[in-house]
Amino acid sequence: MKKFEDFALSSRTMKFIALNHFTQPTPIQEQVIPAAVSGRDVIGLSRTGTGKSHAFLIPVMERTDSSIDHVQAVITAPTRELAAQLYEKAKLMNKADPSLRIRLYVGGKDREKDLRQLKASQPHIAIGTPGRIRDLFLNEGALRIDQAEMLVIDEADMTLEYGFLNEIDAFAGRMGEHLQMLSFSATMPDQLKPFIRKYMHEPVTVRIGEEARLNPKIRHILVPCYHHTYLETIRSILPGIQPYVCLIFANTRDEAHEIAEGLREQKLDVTELHGDMESRKRKQAMRSIEQSLNTFVVATDLAARGIDLDTVTHVISCGFPEDLDYYIHRAGRTGRNGSDGICYALYHEKDDAAIKSLQKRGIRFEHIRFRRGQGETLRPYGQKHLKPDDEMEKQIAMIMTKKNSKVKPGYKKKRAAAIDQIHRKKKREFIRAKIREEKKAMYRKKAYEEKYGSEN
């Protein structure tokens, strides 16, 4: 394991690290910092909680010179909440270098104040949402990022999901020819790759795996959809539960919208959150979620990344995501702070491989189907239904097999013959029993017809 001292960083950057009380780099910091400090383009793939933010904030600090009076680094985040979080972390740089100017540019702030401040002086590091940075640079010409040498895109997959990648594309193309770009996200969607190829030159890719943790206080319930849609299956579950907040995950934006609309038709209070929504509606949705105004929240995985609630009592997963860690994160939205939680995993036949993979990872699924809120327990998922003959074979074998008995010559043949004899005897008994049942049924029918036939 390397130490921060091994990176040969400046004293002010080391002071910034000390102010954060960091003792040694996390795995992603260990790989990203030396590459970024040397000027390489970087693709960082890791989830929240791995030290990702400081994997780029430390190189930004190292490569920024406060004696040069222009913007040197631009950092974007897809929402103003995430941008504000980054800004709060970056502000500690001022304690290490008081002359360093770091500013936040997001919607909801006083735009006129931003313009006046920019007219007086430019920041060294600009942090903000893509839309506000594009507006201040291209529309107003106030924020001069054309000389910046670093562009960091945090939560790049979420930026794509919200449709903000075009905003970044609009101003990235006007930045310096030797622009260094760092992109960080949990996943690398195919739609993001053309943008990466356009701006990055032989990037260093750092992928940090994070073992998703299973919470033993969460019940995982498999719910078969059969020929029904996810919406119809959800409707069959809802009459039997009383959630405080129920978080419903969909794999696509269209599915999320369809489910939300279907629940609204039932007069349920629903908040919808995904990348196809207008910015204004997304902000309203986030406020509604933060205040727990609605019982049901329908979201995609990426859009839900900005949700941090301790009040989720139930989770419904509509199918399974491609990255099965996301299922564990979906379920992990409930059962927080020591409370119990429940996650319903709705499935079709195509989900067999995903379910078996999760079972191997230690998830114990209950198997229940629902009708009008009433649950019926099914046999464990993957357990084959034994035919009467199979069960009989099993019982006969148990009778014939004696523990600690000495094996004699010809034992296997004798055992097979004995099993076959008992098997035929059992079959005869089974057939006779069926014949007796059919005769009884026939006699009952005949007696019924003799007694009530004239009335029919």
d(CA 164, CA 109) in angstroms, rounded, equals: 19
Give the global pTM. Answer: 0.66
Q: Could you tell me which of 263, 259, 262 has the C-alpha nearest to residue 274?
A: 259
Helix (H) or strand (E) holding 208: none
All residue ranges of the chain with pLDDT < 70 are 48-49, 210-213, 306, 308, 385-412, 414-415, 448, 451-456
Among 161, 222, 170, 171, which Cα is nearest to 192's? 161
pLDDT of amino acid 16: 97
> Which pLDDT value is given to residue 162?
82
Under DSSP, is residue 430 helix (H, G, I), strand (E, B) or coil? helix
pLDDT in tens, 120-165: 999 999 999 999 999 999 999 999 999 999 999 999 988 988 889 9
DSSP state of 327: H
Q: How far apart are CA 354 and CA 357, in angstroms?
A: 5
Residue 279: other Cβ atoms inside 10 A: 15
Q: Return the bridge partners of 104, or none.
A: 127
CA distance 420 to 265: 61
How many beta carbons lie within 10 A of that of residue 25, not counting itself?
23
CA dihedral (353, 358, 362, 368) in degrees, to 10, reads -90
The hierarchical CATH code for the domain 4-208 is 3.40.50.300
In CATH terms, 218-377 corresponds, of 3.30.950.10, 3.40.50.300, 1.20.1250.20, 2.60.320.10, to: 3.40.50.300
pLDDT value of residue 396: 54
pLDDT given at position 188: 84
Q: Strand, coil or helix: what is 98?
A: coil
d(CA 188, CA 183): 10
Start-to-end CA distance of the chain, whole Å, equals 89
Start-end of CATH 3.40.50.300 domains in the chain: 4-208, 218-377
The whole-number pLDDT of residue 180 equals 97
The per-residue pLDDT for range 204-216, each reduced to its tens digit, is 999 987 556 678 8
